[in-house]
């Protein structure tokens, strides 16, 4: 049986390629059906976490060493395909770090399971360096490989459920 029976005059490789494209499109539907638009960004707006708003998560970030550089808070769908992958977050909130503790509001696209990663880019170069700090939802430890390179925890250790309102959590920043 041909993948595209209504186009019998096409060669077999063309029919296979077209059928593969249709299958790839069908596989992409569940992500779109969940309402995820990837790589959305905004500045920190605490009004998004006011009473009656949501879904969102209001995060108290603790242990920031300085006001230098940038603070990036990313919300990822709680699955291993997206977790910590470039541009696979559903929201990134950019903020100016404040020494000690600060509050960040991260709007979410829908109620569901997510994982949060916080990155204090101390030197402001928009890259991860050994001097930078990091923290994640549920505050798992960040192990080091050979005592040097940080190894992030699995998404299962950082997963949390958000309902339609405003969830609250605290994330502790760890510096290497």
Give burial (CB, 10 Å; 0-12/13-18/19+) of 139: middle
Segments making up each domain of the chain, as ranges: 1-33, 41-175
Whether 95 and 116 have beta carbons less than 8 Å apart is answered as: no
User: Per residue in 38-94, pLDDT tens?
Assistant: 999 999 999 999 999 999 999 999 999 999 999 999 999 999 999 999 999 999 999
Cis peptide before 30 (omega within 30 of 0): no
Please give the Cα distance from 64 to 82 (Å, whole number): 26
Q: pTM for this one?
A: 0.80
Tokens representing residue 10 in the block:
């096409």
**Average pLDDT over the chain, rounded to whole?**
85
Q: According to the CATH classification, is domain 41-175 in 1.10.3470? A: no
Strand stretches in 17-151, DSSP E: 41-43, 56-64, 70-77, 91-95, 100-107, 112-121, 133-136, 143-145, 149-151
Task: Report the pLDDT value the prediction gives residue 100, as an integer from 0 to 100.
Answer: 98
Q: Is 149 left (phi over 0), alpha (psi -120 to 50) or beta?
A: beta
% the chain with pLDDT above 70: 78
Chain centroid to CA 71: how far?
14
Label residue 36 by pLDDT band (50, 70, 90): confident
């Amino acid at each position: 049986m041909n993948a595209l029976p209504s186009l019998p005059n096409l060669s077999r490789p063309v029919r296979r390629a077209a059928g593969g494209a249709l299958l790839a499109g069908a596989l992409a539907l569940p992500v779109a059906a969940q309402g995820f638009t990837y790589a959305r960004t905004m500045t920190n707006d605490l009004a998004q976490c006011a009473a009656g708003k949501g879904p969102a998560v209001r995060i108290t970030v603790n242990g920031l060493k300085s006001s230098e550089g940038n603070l990036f808070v990313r919300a990822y769908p709680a699955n291993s395909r997206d977790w910590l992958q470039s541009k696979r977050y559903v929201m990134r909130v950019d903020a100016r770090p404040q020494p000690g503790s600060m509050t960040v509001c991260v709007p979410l696209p829908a109620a569901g399971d997510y994982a949060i990663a916080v990155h204090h880019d101390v030197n402001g170069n928009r890259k991860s360096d050994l001097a930078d700090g990091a923290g994640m939802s549920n505050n798992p430890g960040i192990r080091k490989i050979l005592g040097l390179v940080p190894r992030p925890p699995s998404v299962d250790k950082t997963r949390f459920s958000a309902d339609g309102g405003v969830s609250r959590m605290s994330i502790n920043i760890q510096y290497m």
